[in-house]
Amino acid sequence: MSLLLVSDLTLRIAGRTLLDEASLSVEPGRKVGLIGRNGAGKSTLLGAVAGDTQPDGGTIRLAARARLGRVKQEAPSGSATLLETVLAGDTERTALLEEAEHATDGIRIAEIHERLAAIGADSAPARAATILSGLGFDAAAQARSVSEFSGGWRMRVALATALFLNPDLLLLDEPTNHLDLEATVWLESWLKRFSGAALIVSHDRGLLDSCVDAIAHLDRGKLTLYSGGYENFVRIRTEQALQQARMAEKVAAQRAHMQSFVDRFRAKATKARQAQARVKALEKLPVIESVVEDTPVRFDFPAPDELPPPVLTTDAVSIGYDGRAVLSDLSLRIDMEDRIALLGANGNGKSTLAKLLAGRLSPLSGTMFRNPKLRVGYFAQHQTEELVMSETPVDHMSRALPGALPPAVRSQLARFGLDAARAETRVSELSGGEKARLLLALATRDAPQMLILDEPTNHLDLDAKDALIRALAEFTGIVILISHDSHLVEMTADRLWLVADGRVTPFAGDMAEYRAWLTDRSRSERGGGEARAEAKGADRKEERRERAEARKALAPLRKKVQAAEALMVKLNNEQVVIEAKLADPDIYSAGRAADLTALTTRLAAVKREQEQAEEVWFALQEELEAAE
């Protein structure tokens, strides 16, 4: 039996068809990830399920008496406390409590209290407090009014309200966009325990792999359901694409063979009948759609000039605002090709540190060295507010590159997928992902040696995220990353810095160990208060200490593994570049013999170095696995 049944649904927005007779079924307790390109209609579909949009055709049926929960698009506001706001989200509980205060009929009073007991009204404050705590609000914050918080934090309150309702069907649209990594890890854990069904629009691969039972792919107006998480979806789609390509080649060969016969013998009387038979056979051959769905997404960071080490150092630096330190005693060093991810909850100072490294904030005390030739590309999501809505990307880039000719301006935009049509579109009409691409293009316009990316993927779809990961792998400069997307961190960073308690310290482990550390800490915080819990907390503290020592002991070996991986990536990228040059017909022209010889010689050397690097990596990986 379906909890939600979407049948032959057609949805149009401004005359454009987003869903064309699409169908989907969601059973009770099933969690489905809804994916597709930006603008495909995912959010519109959620709105239609919630009743905000009337279908142009087809039907949407929700099971009788099923409770629907969703995050409201507008952030909550007002003088009510965070806890009061979340509790008020359960309108049934609120109405029953209010009625109980004024009811005089004994039978009705009994019915009210029976229903309050059934929905767990007494435990509601504790449940609401637990959810708010998981999303980053401590007890003091929960007692403050909603109006005291910024828009991003208020959206967390909206998410907490939707989770608190414990509905039969939960609709979530990019739930991690306003979360830090710590809150994202908590949300994933909550969704795994959630007994209801969920339809989740997300571009977070970690969430899609760990929390959903199926993937609904919205493509060309149709919905296709795949069992398993995102990784399984990619595997199935890849296999389908290969099968489709082989079938297309087979049909194309048959078609060419038959057409050749028709062309040769159609005019000959003795062969006319056979030729006509071939024509009919040609008409019956299946039409295989193109395997390539859209133009591949590609980002391309300009190559920076090399700088000698150290590029940037700090010695006992303190930073903050209005004379009050947020972070203290910072003694850091950054060199070319460093890939560093900043970990820690929102509000701990990650963005403050990013501003220091970007040169947008001066130290309160201590000394700092910065190579005078260092150029920094700084991306922060809030910069979207600085864009001029009535202007085009060409207008913005022309102003950022004064004196640059139009081809150079458009070339920089094209590096991030802003083609001629998008480059001439007003910013107000661009999607969130296209605005993010514009910000990346602006941040890298002068080929910076250091890229500081503060939540760069909030509005990028999965293909664009993969394009960003590939571009960062090819980038030869420094990357400083702040992101709630653990997949992006795992694929990009080779060093982790923990920003917490007013300090910045290296984290000697990988993202899996960091997530485990967060889980241990969360359990420890929940278990405090009783003597037995304190004893367990002491045991866990000792376990964490032992794990920390183990991580520290293995850190040098892990760095060797990471260095070997980085070398393999570098060699692979060099091979791609060389092979691209060898594919250029101009390299074989007269006068280029020396260049051709150098390229073929280097290609052979690169392949040898790749084999050696792989052998080293395998040996180190086996040593690391044995040690672990």
Q: Is residue 318 part of a domain?
A: yes
Q: Answer yes or no: do 499 and 531 share one domain.
A: no
pLDDT, position 258: 65
Domain stop point among 462, 488, 518: 518
User: Alpha-carbon distance 257 to 214, whole Å?
Assistant: 42
515 neighbors 588 (Cβ within 8 angstroms): no
In degrees, rounded to 5, the angle at the alpha carbon of residue 505 between the alpha carbons of residues 500 and 511 is 85
pLDDT in tens, 406-427: 999 999 999 998 888 889 999 9
Q: Is residue 265 part of a domain?
A: yes
Nearest to 617 by CA among 571, 564, 568: 564
Q: Answer yes or no: do 506 and 573 share one domain.
A: no
Q: Answer yes or no: do 355 and 487 share one domain.
A: yes
Res. 532 pLDDT band, cuts 50 70 90: very low
- Give me the residue label for tokens 């280097």: 602
Domain span at residue 262? 234-284
Q: Is residue 367 part of a domain?
A: yes
User: Alpha-carbon distance 591 to 598, whole Å?
Assistant: 13
pLDDT, position 378: 94
pLDDT in tens, 102-141: 888 888 889 888 988 888 888 899 999 999 999 989 899 9
E-state strands within 168-221 = 169-173, 197-201, 214-219
CATH number, domain of 480, equals: 3.40.50.300
322 burial level (CB within 10 Å; 0-12, 13-18, 19+): exposed
Q: Answer yes or no: do 377 and 457 share one domain.
A: yes
315 neighbors 367 (Cβ within 8 angstroms): yes
pLDDT, position 203: 87
Orientation angle between helical segments 511-526 and 181-193, nearest 10 degrees: 70
499 neighbors 348 (Cβ within 8 angstroms): yes
Please say if the pLDDT value at position 536 is more than 50. no
Res. 265 pLDDT band, cuts 50 70 90: low
Nearest to 320 by CA among 347, 343, 353, 346: 353
Q: Answer yes or no: do 337 and 426 share one domain.
A: yes
Q: Is residue 619 part of a domain?
A: yes
pLDDT in tens, 7-49: 999 999 878 899 999 999 999 999 999 998 877 889 899 999 9
Q: Is residue 140 part of a domain?
A: no
Q: Is residue 269 part of a domain?
A: yes
Q: Answer yes or no: do 511 and 575 share one domain.
A: no
Q: Is residue 351 part of a domain?
A: yes
User: Alpha-carbon distance 335 to 210, whole Å?
Assistant: 35
Percent of the chain with pLDDT over 70: 87
Q: Answer yes or no: do 338 and 403 share one domain.
A: yes
Q: Quick one: average pLDDT of 133-159? A: 90
Give the global pTM.
0.69
Q: Answer yes or no: do 273 and 421 share one domain.
A: no
User: Alpha-carbon distance 62 to 49, whole Å?
Assistant: 8
196 neighbors 526 (Cβ within 8 angstroms): no
Q: Answer yes or no: do 488 and 569 share one domain.
A: no
Q: Answer yes or no: do 570 and 538 share one domain.
A: yes
* Other Cβ atoms closer than 10 A to 498: 19
Q: Is residue 341 part of a domain?
A: yes
Q: Answer yes or no: do 331 and 400 share one domain.
A: yes
pLDDT, position 569: 72
Give the strands of the sheet with 31-35, arranged side by side: 68-70, 169-173, 197-201, 31-35, 214-219, 222-227
Q: Answer yes or no: do 319 and 265 share one domain.
A: no
Cα→Cα distances 6→3, 223, 403, Å: 10, 10, 55
